[in-house]
């Protein structure tokens, strides 16, 4: 009997999955209610579609998790999904598949803020004047969360001659990355950094981590970059910090909610660059996503655990 995989991915990826040497049977999960396929499949590949926002939040759907042995989420975080998704025997995630693309976004944001060539550009003779440009070399980049994304940012930043300071919850990772100074707390990081990069998962513990108290401790004039989740930042406190000048600028690829409602001040704030959750560059990263899925199918076929299993207690 073949291994049945229900998938929310596009047909091209599903066809590639079906060509795995174990020849799994791949079926499409229902668009509006993907969880209802649980009794017809051994594995379920999910992605953060609107259907999951509309799924029951408190009541576990009848029959869940059915015959499922494994759920794979094509996002690194599981905060998008209802809590009962983690009731499946094993849930693993796509951690690391888009970290390089997201790190490129972060470095682009740092250079855009430091050099700002668009503002310095000359379009007529009257604008042919000297403009002081900033420098990444010698600046301090603070990384909050030194997982796959934070590590990719740190590698790039140290190569550019920046000082990198970081904090991470896991003591096991406090040996850090070569060239990165690990600090005891997030407050220590933000007090020293010219550019603060948020790369922590969204959990109850990190909700509004960047609130009034922490934002009051940032280095004056710092630049905040959020590529994690919007819920990690208290947006009202962020706007207050920008208005006061405590923060000089914020580059935000994530907000809470997404998208923000029409008329929200972050859309038009002169000290904010807001992008619509595009830093992962899915088109570029999906090849690595497919590779990870195929590797995990091999592991599961041999009775092993997939990589990057989600810790139910930590929520990531």
Query: Which residues are part of the catalytic machinery?
Result: 229, 258, 277
Buried b (16+ CB within 10 A) or exposed e, 79-113: bbbbebbbebebbbbbbbbbbbbbbbbbbebbebb
CA distance linking residue 149 with residue 151, whole number of Å: 5
Tokens 């600090």 correspond to: 183
CA distance linking residue 145 with residue 185, whole number of Å: 11
CA distance linking residue 271 with residue 277, whole number of Å: 18
* Alpha carbon separation from 83 to 56, 106, 110, 244 (Å, rounded): 10, 30, 35, 38
User: Residue 92 forms beta bridges with which residues?
Assistant: 72, 309
List all residues 6 or more positions away from 108 whose beta carbon is below 8 Å from its beta carbon. none
Count Cβ atoms below 10 Å from residue 277 Cβ, excluding itself.
Answer: 15
């Amino acid at each position: 009997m073949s291994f049945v995989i229900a998938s929310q991915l596009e047909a091209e990826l599903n066809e590639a999955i079906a060509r795995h040497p174990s020849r799994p049977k791949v079926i499409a999960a229902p668009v509006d209610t993907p969880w209802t396929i649980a009794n017809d499949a051994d594995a379920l590949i999910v992605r953060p579609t609107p259907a999951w926002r509309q799924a029951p939040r408190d009541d576990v759907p009848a029959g869940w998790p059915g015959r499922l042995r494994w759920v794979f989420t094509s996002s690194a975080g599981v905060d998008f999904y209802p809590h009962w998704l983690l009731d499946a025997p094993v849930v693993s995630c796509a951690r690391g598949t888009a970290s390089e693309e997201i790190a490129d976004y972060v470095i682009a944001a740092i250079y855009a803020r430091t050099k700002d060539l668009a503002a310095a550009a000359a379009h007529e003779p009257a604008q042919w004047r000297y403009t002081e440009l900033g420098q990444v070399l010698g600046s301090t980049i603070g990384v909050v969360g030194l997982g796959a994304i934070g590590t990719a940012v740190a590698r790039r930043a140290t190569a550019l001659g920046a000082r990198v300071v970081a904090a991470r919850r896991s003591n096991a990772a406090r040996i850090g990355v070569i060239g990165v100074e690990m600090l005891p707390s997030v407050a220590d990081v933000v007090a020293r950094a010219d550019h603060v990069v948020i790369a922590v998962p969204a959990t109850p513990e990190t909700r509004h981590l960047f609130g009034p108290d922490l934002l009051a401790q940032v280095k004056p004039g710092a630049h905040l970059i959020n590529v994690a989740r919007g819920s990690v930042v208290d947006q009202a406190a962020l706007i207050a910090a920008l208005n006061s000048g405590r923060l000089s600028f914020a580059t935000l690829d994530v907000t809470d909610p997404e998208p923000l409602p029409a008329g929200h001040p972050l859309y038009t704030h002169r000290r904010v660059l807001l992008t619509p959750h595009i830093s992962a560059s899915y088109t570029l990263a999906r090849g690595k996503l497919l590779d990870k899925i195929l590797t995990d199918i091999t592991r599961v076929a041999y009775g092993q655990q997939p990589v990057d299993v989600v810790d139910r207690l930590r929520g990531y």
